[in-house]
Chains A and B, each alone.
Chain A
């Protein structure tokens, strides 16, 4: 069942169409990777969901109910972690969490224990320091802690790893993975390896339109790769053979003592074996190159630009 559904969303700034008939569906308890280039429309979409901005056309439904601009009660079940979090600088990290607990309506007697557990879960350092002394990465952790405090049905994160160092990034991705069956996560990012690492499904947005949406494995096989790699003790010989005699090959390259090549669309894997047998060339290993999300991303954008 879908928890969040966006249908034909349109948002314009003057003559610029930031969102153009955007459709998106986030299912319950999944981690949905919302990927796209900078300026593709990710943040505009998230701000529309949170009603920080109005939109021109379309419907956003949460838990089956269309959002109404006069009713923000749905926010009791949603947490939003912005890309550049900002808090009252005169408060300490713990005080920000206490204020957040008040906004959520958590009873006073339950606040301390809950806040302590969230601090531990998010590895928030120096909760008793003033926010003005926090780095951007620490503020991002604090924002995530505030988001989790609500124990939301849907956690929306806008580029949450953008300000984190590699260790911080890894621990955040681990945290997101650990939340997998607790809540639904809409995770916006342009760091594709992060999305590939944690997401169940992804949606690729470009120029305000969703170009691709689906299960991460489906998406990675969006177009079956036709790239192969051969490992051999006679790499040079194989390279020459494929360069001169393999008519079914589109491109051949020698990378790191491996022969990388792609097949023409009409070619089949058995053509490779036939060629190797004909010229009696022995190899150690032949395998299909796996696709990364980045490959798919580039492929889809290339196709879009060609179209």
Chain B
């Protein structure tokens, strides 16, 4: 397992991917705080230059910064994460690395788990660095920052990353193609995020709601269904990773 982790780690450090996973969150974090703080000024300036006068925008609040942060992360960071993540998960097929790895006494379960661990670890580190930059910048610009609720919201976002990763994993090991895995992962992700508003009756416990939880937490709107839905999301993520292992074990390598 240790060598598999090293093999997957090398995929990040010997290519620009690690820099992307750190630099992108840092950039998005700084951008989120700045754009939230000065969006009203920018809009007023843009409208004035077009000759539209008299419209004033309310002063931004810290909530706008949180919304901007999670919007950027769920739209830009998550798409980059899917592209790089599926690349790592399907490297055995796309780059024909299976004979190099499986000529040794390596288990398929460990092979898959190593990729999940490395992807989650790199993502968490990148997000933590990004979160620190965001916290600092936001405090500088808004002179306030709720560390506790922001940390909790970050946990929710990391759970949503794990959920997306489990979908990517299932798609990558069920289909022997990068294109199929990436297309299906993105389609499912877009579909799930577009359904976040669906929270009537039993739907309020469904895992698609995980994508709106980070913002709800920063707004301190915590309720019981949210915890149930988070628990179900975690369970489903673990189940899908388990299914990926099962599918991969049954599948031939060539």
Q: Is the CB of A85 within 8 A of B99?
A: yes
- A89 in contact (CB, < 8 A): yes
Q: Please name the residue on chain A nearest to B3 by beta carbon.
A: A102
- Number of A-B residue pairs having CB atoms within 8 Å of each other in the complex: 76
- B7 in contact (CB, < 8 A): yes
- A86 in contact (CB, < 8 A): yes
C-alpha spacing A2/B32, complex, angstroms: 68
C-alpha spacing A74/B103, complex, angstroms: 10
- A54 in contact (CB, < 8 A): yes
Q: Is the CB of B104 within 8 A of A104?
A: yes
Q: Is the CB of A50 within 8 A of B95?
A: no
- A103 in contact (CB, < 8 A): yes
On chain B, the residues within 8 Å of A72 by CB distance are: 102, 105-107
- A79 in contact (CB, < 8 A): yes
- A286 in contact (CB, < 8 A): no
Q: Which of A89, A100, A103, A146 has the most CB of B within 10 A?
A: A103
| B 38-89 contacts with A by CB, 8 A | none
- A82 in contact (CB, < 8 A): yes
On chain A, the residues within 8 Å of B10 by CB distance are: 88, 90-91, 95, 99
Q: Is the CB of B100 within 8 A of A85?
A: yes
C-alpha spacing A82/B101, complex, angstroms: 12
- A84 in contact (CB, < 8 A): yes
Partner of B6, one of A53, A89, A99: A99
On chain A, the residues within 8 Å of B105 by CB distance are: 72-76
On chain B, the residues within 8 Å of A73 by CB distance are: 105
> Given that A73-B105, A82-B99, A89-B95 are contacting pairs, would A53 and B14 also be in contact in the complex, using a CB cutoff of 8 Å?
no
- A52 in contact (CB, < 8 A): yes
C-alpha spacing A87/B104, complex, angstroms: 14
- A222 in contact (CB, < 8 A): no
| Chain B nearest CB, measured from A59 CB (Å) | 19
A139-180, CB under 8 A of B: which get 1 and which 0?
000000011001000000000000000000000000000000
Q: Is the CB of A86 within 8 A of B14?
A: no
> Given that A90-B15, A99-B7 are contacting pairs, would A79 and B252 also be in contact in the complex, using a CB cutoff of 8 Å?
no
- A47 in contact (CB, < 8 A): yes
Q: Which of B3, B10, B104, B106 has the most CB of A within 10 A?
A: B104
On chain A, the residues within 8 Å of B96 by CB distance are: 84, 86
Count B interface residues, CB 8 Å.
24
- A32 in contact (CB, < 8 A): no
- A187 in contact (CB, < 8 A): no
| A 90-109 contacts with B by CB, 8 A | 90-91, 95, 99-100, 102-104
On chain B, the residues within 8 Å of A89 by CB distance are: 95
| B 87-119 contacts with A by CB, 8 A | 95-107
On chain B, the residues within 8 Å of A297 by CB distance are: none
- B202 in contact (CB, < 8 A): no
Partner of B3, one of A53, A78, A87, A99: A99
On chain A, the residues within 8 Å of B99 by CB distance are: 50, 52, 80, 82, 85-86
C-alpha spacing A78/B104, complex, angstroms: 8
> Given that A75-B103, A90-B11, A99-B7 are contacting pairs, would A52 and B252 also be in contact in the complex, using a CB cutoff of 8 Å?
yes
- B222 in contact (CB, < 8 A): no
On chain A, the residues within 8 Å of B100 by CB distance are: 85-88, 146
On chain B, the residues within 8 Å of A150 by CB distance are: 104
Q: Is the CB of A52 within 8 A of B98?
A: yes
Residues of A within 8 A of B (CB): 47, 50-54, 72-76, 78-80, 82, 84-91, 95, 99-100, 102-104, 146-147, 150
Shortest Cβ-Cβ A-B pairs, 3 listed: A86-B96, A90-B14, A53-B252
Residues of B within 8 A of A (CB): 2-3, 6-7, 10-11, 14-15, 95-107, 252-254
Provide 20 A-B residue pairs closer than 8 Å at the C-beta atoms, listed in order of the A residue: A47-B254, A50-B99, A52-B99, A52-B253, A72-B102, A72-B105, A75-B104, A75-B105, A76-B105, A82-B99, A86-B95, A86-B96, A87-B97, A88-B10, A88-B14, A90-B14, A99-B6, A100-B104, A104-B104, A147-B103
